[in-house]
Amino acid sequence: MVCIITERGIRLTMTSLGITFEGDRGYIRVYSETATSLNLLILEPLETSKVRVNIPLQRGDAGTWQASSGEIKPGIKYALQADGPKGPRDGFNPEIRLIDPYAKAVHRDSARDYYCVAIEDNFDWQGVTKPNVPLDQAVIYEAHSRGLTRGNPNIPDDLRGTYAALAHPETIGHLKKIGVTSIELLPIHMFISEPRLMNMGLINYWGYNTINFFTPHPRYASEKARNEGPLAVVNELKTAIRELHRNGIEVILDVVYNHTAEGGGGGLTYSYRGLDNSNYYRQDDRGWYQDTTGCGNSLNFANPAVVQLTLDSLAYWTDVMQVDGFRFDLATTLARDENNSFNRDHPLFQGIKADPRFQDSKMIVEPWDVGIGGWQTGNFPDGFSEWNDRYRDSVRKFWLTDISAARDSGKHWSGVADLATRLAGSQDVVNGPLGPLGSVNFITAHDGFTLKDLVSFNVKHNQVNGESNRDGSGNNHSFNHGYEGETNDPSIRAARRKAARNLTATLLFSAGIPMITAGDERGKTQLGNNNAYCQDSQLSWVNWELSRTQQDVEITFAYLTKLRREHAALRPRSFGSFEQLAPGVDRIRWYNISGHLMTIEDWDNPEVRTVARFTEHDNGDGTFDRLLLVIHGTETEAKLVLPLEIEQQTFELIWDSALETPPHRVEKHAAKTNVLLTGTSMQLYSVY
């Protein structure tokens, strides 16, 4: 039995869906409230266009159809067939073979023809367990399963771009070298590219177009695994997860439960539409889809069966595939009730929080969708960390568009108040039990400019996407530093590199969970394309043959993650206090350029662009971690007085963003002395 979530709580009503085995018999169970007939088609193993056995399913309770037979065995190739009413909300067509929503393996015969394969779990995890990295120690690395390794010449060509390559020593060595703890994979649930893209000779590279929530996308498996069959594909992915775990690296999945690849009313039928269109998808009485995703359809999370499908998928990937957490795409859609309104206490989230299988899983939401009332940043329930778009925009504005404005008009648009709020953990956005760890901080993500492009382009350049540069956001808060795109001007190139260092250090020195986009740690460019969702090429792949400058970028990134790892004051578990200092609560104070505590006038002045954050962390063993972070947000040099009120007398400079690489010598200063700040720079001091 499994749980069905209702408005009144949790009740046990449904048996396990999909194919299961007991002894020498197999069972098939499928959900459909509106079908009038359902059949399991067992296909000829060598000629899948032919049906070997047709097994009718019988309708049971809660819209569950089921059958059992000795013909249902591991390894069978199968499909579903459904018929039902022909109303405006229905999509039945008994001529179409349908994918089982609970299939654990799906094979594509052609653009329109798919079949499922029944598999059993037989994988040896060799005693390797999940790393369970504490939230405050997590550094998330958002990567594409194919794009991360496809361009790496040090990986055998037959493995590059595959699940197997994720487990290759080259990949694992790189992740450990740069100090990330958790790799967040763009969607690997089986997906289908939109016909529009296929007609242009492109594909949905990012994969946000799922057709099955249990099956790994087979294209990311090696050719050897694909030839051996679906079970080999699953086991190749499990091997990658196991080896990443063996090396202390978590695997988080970006999951797209908000819509499916079947599209809108004119879309193709592969699975859900043909089984129960009126209950899987949100529609009005005329059969028009209520789309809050911008992708043609939205799954109906007012339906308990859709909630259960999602919970069952999460449980499968958590237990059987051993992943460590999930990032929920367009999560507002997942929390819409029967009125299509956002409900932070939605049964889906209640179900996740109530299930002990998820107690150690990292649960991250993208807290918006494109529907009415879709922007819900800060409104998700306790226990869920949220992508913090306000963090992204505030940091970009301070280091980029404010600097651009000052060049144009002589005045900055904002001072340091908003940036300080982001550095301190965005308590104005996330203020629940997770404290600052309720915020996933990021400067870039898969959708948008890379870090290098963010400091090199004022506008997007998406012409290769085939949409006349209409796609992608036009509001990027980017700054090209005086020239659009690549340039040989050494002063512009140096300014861009320093801006990128400032952005990266701000991210890694902020309270909250930092997330970096793969390739940013080594200066990757997409030539100004801020929406490379359809570009499966070197434009999107991570670069592995690095220039000296790119190597320096990577060295700096690794050094900054090392500082974060070594200094608990950079990764607090709770919001700081001006007065209190105790284990679990850091003392945090802000000083102006003259070494005095910031005043209200300082905070309110848009031309006060220099601030120093002093953080004191009680390690709980009689020792303390004390750091002074100095931020200077103007392009002119300045002198800062090291704070007068700090009792400790020695300030040791451990990083300066004005330097291309980490410092090679120790530089110490006494309290109350002046230190020189290079234009638009950051400095970090250890205080003792």
Q: β-strands 106-108, 77-83: how paired?
A: unpaired
Mean pLDDT of 159-168: 98
The values of phi and psi at residue 111, to 5°, are -60, -30
Give me the residues paired with residue 630 across strands. Answer: 612, 683
Q: pLDDT digit string (tens) for 50-78?
A: 999 999 999 999 999 999 999 999 999 99
pLDDT band at 324 (very low <50, low <70, confident <90, very high): very high
Range scoring the smallest mean pLDDT among 3-12, 64-73, 364-373, 629-638 = 3-12
3-state DSSP of 5-28? EECCEEEEEECCCEEEEECCEEEE
pLDDT at 169 over 80: yes
pLDDT band at 580 (very low <50, low <70, confident <90, very high): confident
Nearest CA-CA partner of 659 in 498, 463, 541: 498
- What is the Cα–Cα distance from 304 to 347, expressed in whole angstroms? 8
* pLDDT number for residue 112: 84
pLDDT at 360 over 60: yes
- What is the Cα–Cα distance from 457 to 477, expressed in whole angstroms? 10
- What is the Cα–Cα distance from 379 to 368, expressed in whole angstroms? 10
Per CATH, the number for 2-117 is 2.60.40.10
**pTM for the complete prediction?**
0.96
Query: Which residue blocks in 480-547 are alpha helix, DSSP H?
Result: 490-508
Q: Extract the tokens encoding 235.
A: 């086991």
Q: 672 with 651: CB under 8 angstroms?
A: no
The values of phi and psi at residue 184, to 5°, are -105, 110
- What is the Cα–Cα distance from 664 to 63, expressed in whole angstroms? 68
- The burial of 678, by beta-carbon neighbours within 10 Å (0-12 exposed, 13-18 middle, 19 or more buried), is given as middle
Count Cβ atoms below 10 Å from residue 4 Cβ, excluding itself: 18
Mean pLDDT of 304-310: 98
- The burial of 457, by beta-carbon neighbours within 10 Å (0-12 exposed, 13-18 middle, 19 or more buried), is given as buried
- What is the Cα–Cα distance from 498 to 540, expressed in whole angstroms? 24
Q: Extract the tokens encoding 293.
A: 């995703």
pLDDT band at 644 (very low <50, low <70, confident <90, very high): confident
- What is the Cα–Cα distance from 554 to 545, expressed in whole angstroms? 12
- What is the Cα–Cα distance from 473 to 222, expressed in whole angstroms? 34
Q: 627 with 685: CB under 8 angstroms?
A: yes
Packed helices 230-246 and 169-178: angle between N→C axes, nearest 10 degrees? 40
Helices and strands (DSSP H and E) totals, the chain? 15, 27
Q: β-strands 674-677, 2-6: how paired?
A: unpaired
- What is the Cα–Cα distance from 554 to 538, expressed in whole angstroms? 19
- What is the Cα–Cα distance from 135 to 513, expressed in whole angstroms? 7
Nearest CA-CA partner of 107 in 231, 195, 193, 20: 231
Question: Could you tell me the fold of the domain covering 573-687?
Answer: Immunoglobulin-like (2.60.40)
- For the four alpha carbons of 629, 634, 636 and 638, in that order, the dihedral sign comes to negative
Round the average pLDDT of the chain to a whole number and report it.
95
Q: 292 with 220: CB under 8 angstroms?
A: no
DSSP notation for 420-482: HHHHTT-TTT--STTGGGGEEEES--SSS--HHHHTT-SS---GGGSSTT-SS-S------TT
Nearest CA-CA partner of 377 in 297, 294, 438: 438
- What is the Cα–Cα distance from 139 to 518, expressed in whole angstroms? 12
Counting residues of the chain whose pLDDT is more than 70, the rounded percentage is: 98
Q: pLDDT digit string (tens) for 523-538?
A: 999 999 999 999 999 9
Q: Extract the tokens encoding 668.
A: 């110490």
Count Cβ atoms below 10 Å from residue 122 Cβ, excluding itself: 9
Q: 6 with 304: CB under 8 angstroms?
A: yes
Query: 198: part of which helix (H) or strand (E)?
Result: helix 195-199
The values of phi and psi at residue 69, to 5°, are -165, 150
Mean pLDDT of 310-339: 98
pLDDT at 626 over 60: yes
Nearest CA-CA partner of 181 in 237, 120, 245, 126: 245
- What is the Cα–Cα distance from 256 to 317, expressed in whole angstroms? 14
Positions marked active-site: 329, 366
| Calculated CA dihedral for residues 247, 250, 256, 262, nearest 10 degrees | 20
Residue spans in the chain of domains classed CATH 2.60.40.1180:
573-687
Mean pLDDT of 651-674: 94
At 456 the three-state DSSP class reads coil
Q: 306 with 287: CB under 8 angstroms?
A: no
Give me the residue label for tokens 């760890």: 437
pLDDT at 2 over 50: no
Q: pLDDT digit string (tens) for 3-44?
A: 433 333 333 334 599 999 999 999 999 999 999 999 999 999
Q: Extract the tokens encoding 431.
A: 């203020």
At 403 the three-state DSSP class reads helix
Altogether, the residues listed in the chain come to a count of 688
Mean pLDDT of 345-366: 97
Angle at 256 between CA 122 and CA 442, to 5 degrees: 110
pLDDT at 649 over 70: yes
Q: 370 with 294: CB under 8 angstroms?
A: yes
Mean pLDDT of 424-453: 97
- What is the Cα–Cα distance from 111 to 21, expressed in whole angstroms? 31
Range scoring the smallest mean pLDDT among 121-130, 585-594, 664-673 = 664-673
Q: Extract the tokens encoding 103.
A: 């299939």
- What is the Cα–Cα distance from 607 to 414, expressed in whole angstroms? 7
Name, in order, each residue with C-beta under 8 angstroms of 512's C-beta and a sequence gap of 6 or more.
388, 391, 425, 426, 436, 437, 438, 439, 440, 441
Mean pLDDT of 407-412: 96
At 387 the three-state DSSP class reads strand
- What is the Cα–Cα distance from 164 to 326, expressed in whole angstroms? 21
Nearest CA-CA partner of 250 in 417, 414, 363: 363
